[in-house]
Structure 1
């Protein structure tokens, strides 16, 4: 189960790296604006906020990936802690999105599914000793 948790943590990290790239690099492009349903003026007005928010996503991805690597190297306590911190924060952010913007619930589910599976499988794997 811990290996499955690592796979889902990696998937969550990759998704959040993609979100980072959209928010911090391509925020004002037509494709990203269409995905986030923002006008050119809204994208320009929120550019600095999105840039900052993108880096939050990147840092969570780095924490989760560092945990996956540590687990792979046999460092159970450190790896688990990093995966719980990184993926757990991703999951919490998805919950905040769903509760704060009910119209974005589908997006929140997409954003939170991989972290949820990672956290749940890691907790179960640790509890069962595998």
Structure 2
């Protein structure tokens, strides 16, 4: 379960790095606007907020990767705590997104699927 959980966590981190790129660097591009359902004017107006939000996603990805490295190199309990904190935060953000705007359910599923799998598998591993 540990290896599968860490693979899911790594995929969650990769998704969040991609979201970081979209929010921090490609926010006003037509394809990104289409992905997030924003007009050109909305994208220009919200660019500073999206830039900041992008970094939140990057930091969660970094925390996940650090946790994976710590598990592999030194300490499973410490690394597992880091991975669970980061992926749990990703999952919580997806739940908030889906709950705050049901039209964003697809985006929430993309954002939260790998973190959910990672959290469940890591908790099963730790309980066993």
Instruction: State the TM-score, normalizing by the size of structure 2.
Output: 0.97
Distance 2:44 2:110 in 1: 26
Match for residue 26 of structure 2? Answer: 26
After TM superposition, give the deviation of residue 74 of structure 1 in Å.
4.0
- Deviations for 1:76-99, whole angstroms, at most 9, x for unmatched residues? 111001101110000000000010
**Partner residue, 1:36:** 36
- Equivalents in 1 of 2:107, 2:66: separation in Å? 25
Structure 2 counterpart SS, 1:38: coil
The match for 1:5 is 5
Verify: 1:72 aligned to 2:72, yes or no. Answer: yes
Partner of 1:47: 47
Where does the alignment leave 5 or more consecutive residues of structure 2 unmatched?
none
CA separation in 2, counterparts of 1:74 and 1:3?
15
Matched positions, count: 128
Cross-structure match for 1:116: 116
Match of 2:98 in 1: 98
CA distance in 2, matches of 1:126, 1:73: 18
In the alignment, structure 1 segments of 5+ residues that lack a partner are none
> Normalised by the size of structure 1, how large is the TM-score?
0.96
